[in-house]
A and B are shown apart, each in its own frame.
Chain A
Amino acid sequence: MNNKSLAEENYLPNNLANKKEFSLKSFFLQWEWLLILILFLVFIINSILSPYFLDANSLLGATSTFLDKAFIVFPMALIMIMRDIDISVGSTVALSGVVMATVYNSFGFPMEIAILVCLAVGALCGLINGLLIVKFKELSAVIVTLGTMILFRGIAYIILEDQASGNFPDWFNYFGWGTAGNIPFILIAFIIVAIVFTLLLHKTTFGRNVYAIGSNPTASRFSGVSVDKIRVIVFVLAGVMAAVTAIFLASRMGSTRPNVASGYELEVITMAALGGISTVGGKGRMLGTILAVFIIGFLQYGLGLINIPSQTLLIIIGALLILAVATPKLKLPKFLLRK
C-alpha cells in the first residue's frame, strides 16, 4: 500500500465521511460477477451438449444429487476465513452416519433419536478438532485434522466393519429424494442453511470477529476478541454440518457405509476457494461460495448427462481451483485499476 504523504494528509479536512460512496466500478469488479459468468457458461455449454439439460424440473431434481456435501461449505468458509482448515469433515460424515445407522439398527432406538445422536456425534468431532487446535498452538489445523480424519474414519470402520447399514424407515428414505411441489427438500434445507450462515457471517458480531481473527489474530486478541472460543465454535459448526450431510446422504442412498464421503473435504474446500474465500484468511463472502456450489454441482450433473467419465470432472475441478486461487494474484489490466 502506498502511504499518503504527510503534506497530502494535512490538507485533508478533519471531517470524515461516514456514508459510503457508491462506485460503479468497484461494484462490477467483484469476484461474484465472474462466478455468475462462469455459471452462465456452464448452463450454455451444458444445454448445447445435451438437449435434456435445460428443463426446470430436472434442474431442480439435479440439486438433490450434489447438495448434500454443500452444507459443509458454509462452516468451511468460516474456517478458511479464520486462516484454519478442516480436512476431517469427510470422515466426520462417515462416522456420524455410521453411528446413526448403528443406533437405529443395532440398538433399536427410534430414527428421530438416531438423527439427534448423529448431530451430536458431528458436534463432538468438531469439538475435538477445535479444542486440539486451540490447546496445541504449535500444531497447525491441517495436521490436527489430518490426524482426526484418519481417526474418525477408523472408528467408523471399527463400528460397521466393511458393511452397509440401511433399512431405515420409509419417511427417512423419502426425505432425501422427496419434494415439496417441485422443490426437493434438500434444496429447501440448503436455502435455509445458506441464509442462516450468510446472516451469521455478514450481519452479526460473531461474523465480524471471524473476519478479525483471519485478518490479524494477534490484534484481535489484544482487542478483546475471544479468539479461541470462536475458533472452537466454528469447528463445532463444521462437525454439525457434516452430520447434516450424513443424514441427507444416508437418506438418499438408503444406507450408509464407513467409506462414504471420502474426498468430500477436498470438494468442499474447492467450492469455498472458487467462491472467493481467501486461502490466507480474512476475506471472502457467502454469496460467492453459494455460486461456486452451483457451478461445480451443475458442471458435474451436465457432464453426467452426456456420459463424460467422472475422471474428466476431476480435471475440470482441479483447473477451476487453480483458477480461483491464482486469479486474484494476476495483474488486472491498467484501465480497470485506474481511479
Chain B
Amino acid sequence: MSEYVLELKGITKEFPGVKALDNVHFKLKKGEIHALMGENGAGKSTFIKIITGVHSPNKGEMYLYGEKVEFNNPKDAQVKGIAAIYQHVTNFPDLTVTENIFMGHEKVSPITRRLLWKEMHYEARSLLRQLGSTIDPKVEMGSLSVAQQQIVEIAKAISTKAKIIIMDEPTAALTARESEELYKIAEKLRDDGVSIIFISHRFEDMYRLATQVTVLRDAKYMGSWGVDEISNEQLIVQMVGREISQVFPNKHNEIKESILEIKNLGKIGYFADISFNVRKGEIVGLTGLVGAGRTEVCQAICGIAPADKGEIFIKGKKVKIKKPKDAMNFGIGYLPEDRQLQGLILSWDIGRNITLPSMKKYSQKGWLNPKREATVAKELAEKVSVKANSIFDLVSSLSGGNQQKVSVAKLLTADVEVIILDEPTKGVDVGAKSAIYEIINDLAAQGYGVLLVSSEMPEILGLSDRIIVMKEGRIATTLSKEEATQERILEAAMGSEPTNNREVVVEV
C-alpha cells in the first residue's frame, strides 16, 4: 500500500475559455491535516470539485490508497470515503439534524424498508457526542448556528465512514471561540486516522492545525512544504508573486474635493465601523477576501440592503438612502457584481438596457421618445465602445466583456457623480478587461468619483489612487497608491495576527 491515501498527478481542468487547473499535484498522508492555500480564483474550489467527483479532469490521474480511481459523480467519491464540508453549508434547513446526517444513506429495516428513526436518532446523538457536542438531533437544522451546522456536517461525514474530509473555509463564518472548537474536532479526527484537507484564507488556521501546506496560484501548482519549513513571507510570495500581466493605461485624473463620505456605517452580522470618503476624480479601491463584507458595504450605500447604523454624506450633505432609486437621485450609480442577474435584462436589446435607469430623462411626461432614446443609447454605447451591429442587438448575444460595457453605459445615462463598480471584470476576457480599465480611468479623468471593488490584486493596484482593505467586516487598513504592494494588501486582508474585536462583528 502506498504511503499516501490520496495522490493527484498532473491534474488539468479546462472550462470553455479558461484553464482552471494546470498540471496540479497533491499528496495526502493518512492522519494528516493538509492546508491548501491560494488567492481567490487560484483554482482551489475546482481542485476540491475534482477530488469530490463534481468535475472530472481533462488530464491527470488520481490515486486512492495507491490505486487509480476515476470519479464520474459525487456519489462515486462518497462511496470511496471522501466527504466535503463547504464554505456555505449545504444542508436542508427545514429538516432535522438526524435527517441531515443520514440524507442519502438512511437506515432502513431490511424487510419492510421502513425508516428506522429510533436507531438514526440514537446514532446521530452518539456521533455528535463523539464530536463533543450536545446538539439535539431532533431539532431543525435551520435553528442552529453556523458553527453547530458545521459540526453536524462533520458528523454526517463521519457517518458515511469518510476517511478523507475536505473542509472548504470552515472558519470563515465562525468566531474565534467557535473556530477553536472546530480545531479540536479536526485534531480529534486526525488522531482517529482521518486525513483532512483544510482550505482557509487565515494564516492562523494553517499554523494552528496543518503540518503540510500546498499552494496554488493562477491555476498552477506552486509547491508543497512542511508548515515549519516555510515562513509567512515566503508563503505570501508563493501565493501572489506573479507579474502584473495586464496593461494598465496611464492615468491622468485630477483629484478634487470629497464627494461621498461614509461615517461609521454598520450592519449587524455583515460589517461595522466603516468610514471612508471618495473624492471627485479619484479611484478608491476596496478589497479584501471574499466574504470580508465589501459587496455588503456597497449595497448599503446604494440602498439595496440599507445599513442599520451610520451616516452617508453627499457633498457634505447628510442623505438617507433606503432604496436604489434614492441612491440614483443622489447621484450614486452602482454596477452590480452579477451583471446577468442584477445588472442587465438579457432578453432586451442594448438600447433599452442602457436607457432603463433614466427613461424619465428621455421621455416627455411619461411618454416614451424612442428616437431620442436611440440617439442617446447609440452615443453611450459608442462611448464605452460596445462592439455590436446595432443597438437593437440583444444583450444575451454579446460576450461577457461587451455585456459589462453595456452595464457601464447604463450607469452613465443617469446623472451620477459617484460610481460604484463591484467586480467589474469578473468573467470578462483579457482583451475586454483592459478596455474596461480604460473606461474606469476615463471616468475618473472626467471627474467622477469611483469606488472600485475587486478581488483581483493587479486591478486594485493598477487603478486605485487609494486602497481600502477590509477584513471580516471591518476596515483593516487604508494604503496610498505608493505604499501599496500585493504583499501588504494580502497581509492586511488575511491578518496573520488575530484581531481582537472580531467576535463583535461576526456574531449575529
Contact = CB atoms under 8 A, between A and B. Distances in A.
Interface residues of B, number: 52
B359 A4 contact: no
B356 A225 contact: yes
Contacts of B399: 3-4, 6, 9
Contacts of A223: 324, 356-357, 410
A218 B344 CA distance: 9
A281 B390 CA distance: 25
The interface size bin for chain A is 35 or more
Contacts of A220: 345, 356
A12 interface: yes
Interface string A6-34: 10011010111111110000000000000
Interface stretch (B263-271, B346-354, B439-447): B346-354
A208 B359 contact: yes
Nearest to A216: B345
A18 B374 contact: yes
B401 to A, nearest CB: 8
Interface in B414-453: 414, 429, 431
A222 B397 contact: no
Contacts of B431: 6, 10
A2 interface: yes
B431 to A, nearest CB: 7
Contact of A216 (B325, B334, B346, B394): B346
A219 interface: yes
B343 A219 contact: yes
Nearest to B352: A208
Contacts of B392: 17, 20
Interface in B353-388: 356-357, 359-360, 363, 366-368, 374-375, 377-378, 381-382, 385-388
Contacts of A19: 374, 390
A285 to B, nearest CB: 15
Interface string A153-183: 0000000000000000000000000000000
Interface string B212-231: 00000000000000000000
Given A3-B397, A20-B392, A215 B366 contact: no
Interface stretch (A198-206, A247-255, A288-296): A198-206
Contacts of A21: 390
Contact of A15 (B346, B347, B382, B394): B382
A140 interface: no
B366 A224 contact: no
A9 B368 contact: no
Interface in A262-300: 282-283
A204 B359 CA distance: 10
A222 B342 contact: yes
Contacts of B381: 16
Interface string A214-234: 011011111111100000000
B500 interface: no
B328 interface: yes
A4 B347 contact: no
A1 interface: yes
Nearest to A199: B367
A212 interface: yes
Contact of B391 (A16, A207, A219): A16
B417 to A, nearest CB: 15
9 contacts: A1-B397, A3-B399, A205-B367, A208-B359, A216-B345, A222-B334, A222-B343, A223-B324, A223-B410
Given A224-B414, A283-B347, 12 more contacts: A1-B397, A6-B431, A9-B388, A10-B431, A14-B385, A17-B391, A204-B366, A215-B347, A219-B343, A221-B324, A222-B336, A222-B343
